[in-house]
Amino acid sequence: MMVMMDFKVVVLAGGVSKKLLPLVSKELPNALLPVANRPLLSYTLDLLELSNLKDLIVVVEGRDAAREVGSWISAAYADRLQVEVAAVPEDVGTAGAIRAISRYLTTAKDILVVSGDLVSDVPLGAVAATHRRHDAFVTAMLCSAPVSGSLDSGSSGGKDKTKKPGRYDLIGLDPTKQFLLHIATGAEVGKDLRVQKSILRAAGEIEIRADLMDAHLYAFKRSVLLEVLEQKGTFHSLKQDVLPYLVRSQLKSDVLLNGIPQAEENGNEKVISQSNQQMISQILANASEPTFHLRYALGPHGSSSARRTHKCCVYIAGSSKYCARLNSIQAYSDINRYVIGEASHLSGYSFSSHNNIIDPSAELGAKTTVGPHCMLGEGSQMGDKCSVKRSVIGRHCRIGANVKVVNSIVMNHVTIGDSCSIQGSVICSNVQLQERAVLKDCQVGAGFVVTAGSECKGEVLAKK
């Protein structure tokens, strides 16, 4: 744990994401969106606590959202974590958020930046150790790309939209799989990509991967990150601006150290075709050979006037670890399903012998069944002859008789009338479904009333 002592931790909790409407609102920002009946941010905070990282800055976009998040943290983590909640303007971007709180980041040697929408069990100490071992400028955590599809996959419901080509993170690694040579976020699979000749020549070869995801968990050298953000005032995103910039400039690092920006290489790129190899990678504990950075810095004849370089490293999570970002409605459904299923150890709950969780205060009617990989929250009541399969039902819900809920998430204080059918849908808090309503692949915003006998498929239902 000693390696973590002088890391400053910044959690970027976002605000109210348009991608998650109508599930989120000013009253329920991203960070508090329930995942298996727990606020999303609790998964990140618990992971940090397990890593003995208890002094945090949580950055929230918007004052209203920051107030809601701060109140919840004060109540839930009062005796466990020391958290300062900082409000930044909405839509400032991840780079802008760090810029806005830079006054808090003046002492630590390194900064650990964690996305508040991350649900993972990857040990953060391993990322920090990798960063320190290589004395890197930046270390990015990579994990297996989501099974459900590409990074921009849409919601499971909603009206049909024109299909776009799948977009993925395209990641270039050196032969040892320790160093990041190229990253293109949201790149279209099937097109060629450009890699700088100097990096390719120095590394010898590059492996292009489309099966890995940038988890948006980074260890940065503090002085470098703050200098880049100061020099590059237009940089908006850590993932799309800062990280690619550091990767491109790793063999001409004086651009970062003397404060004099240099023009980036022009016309010195090499086109290589994509290779979507499926393989499991583990980072090497120690490199026995000098890194390509050192060989390049010394030059072909071991010149004493070394060229400046810096290292951009990766930590690749093992295949047995769970890692996902909740940045779309599809991801929301997927993560809920995994946390009450294959990744149930993340839920923080003890599952019954039937592989489900039914709160002791919940009430079930006659001949009502709650199947495996289901959750029924505190104080909820279900009538007779109901069936729940692979679904999460929140707290203090009132569910009538002959109701079927399959592959769905029902939040808190929802009222469902008799003979309703809900499949593949997300029902927000305080919704009323009147009797015989049928929903398939829908999202229903908070407080909405679905009238009796309605049949909706692929709809987004929300108050105007």
pLDDT mean across residues, the chain: 85
* pLDDT reading at 258 higher than 80: no
Tell me if the bond preceding 22 is cis, omega within 30° of 0: yes
Q: Which of 256, 265, 261 is nearest to 308 (CA)?
A: 256
* Tokens 């006659």 found at: 366
Per-residue pLDDT, 199: 80
Question: Is 158 a residue whose pLDDT tops 80?
Answer: no
Length of the chain: 464
B/e letters for 414-444, b = 16+ CB within 10 Å, e = fewer, are bebbbbbbbbbbbbbbebbbbbbbbbbbbbb
Q: What pLDDT was estimated at residue 300? A: 55
pLDDT digits (tens, 9 = 90+) for 90-116: 999 999 999 999 999 988 899 999 999
Cα–Cα distances in Å, from 120 out to 43, 161, 257, 343? 7, 31, 34, 9
Q: What is the pLDDT of residue 299?
A: 57
Global pTM value: 0.86
How is residue 20 written in tokens?
Answer: 């998650």
Instruction: Please report, in angstroms and rounded to a whole number, the separation of the first and last CA atoms in the chain.
Output: 50
Adjacency order of strands within the sheet including 207-209: 180-188, 167-173, 207-209
pLDDT of residue 187: 58
Distance CA 323, CA 124 (A): 12
pLDDT digits (tens, 9 = 90+) for 71-83: 999 999 999 999 9
Section 133-141 average pLDDT = 95
| Phi/psi of residue 140, nearest 5 degrees | -110, 135
pLDDT at 375: 97
Report which of residues 439 and 52 the model is more confident about: 439
User: Tokens 């009430």 correspond to what residue?
Assistant: 363
**Which of the four pLDDT bands, split at 50, 70 and 90, describes residue 408?**
very high
Distance, CA of 455 to CA of 440 (rounded, Å): 8
Question: pLDDT confidence of 263, banded at 50, 70, 90?
Answer: very low
pLDDT at 197: 77
pLDDT for residue 434 is more than 80: yes
Contact 230, 198 (CB under 8 A): no
Confidence of residue 453 (pLDDT cuts 50, 70, 90): very high
List pLDDT tens digits, range 278-299.
Answer: 332 333 334 344 566 655 555 5
Whether 452 has a pLDDT exceeding 70, the answer reads yes
Q: Which residue would you say has higher pLDDT here, 153 or 177? A: 177
Which residue intervals of 258-372 are DSSP H helices?
Answer: 292-298, 329-339
d(CA 349, CA 374): 12
Instruction: Indicate the residue type of 2.
Output: M
What local confidence, expressed as pLDDT, does residue 147 receive? Answer: 61
d(CA 37, CA 376): 9
Are 44 and 217 in contact by the 8 Å Cβ rule? The answer is no
C-alpha–C-alpha distance, residues 343 and 315, integer Å: 21
Residue 59 pLDDT class (50, 70, 90 cuts): very high
Q: Which residues contact 225 (CB under 8 A, 6 or more apart)?
A: 98, 111, 138, 242
**Amino acid 270: pLDDT:** 46
Q: Whole-angstrom Cα distance, residue 61 to residue 38?
A: 21
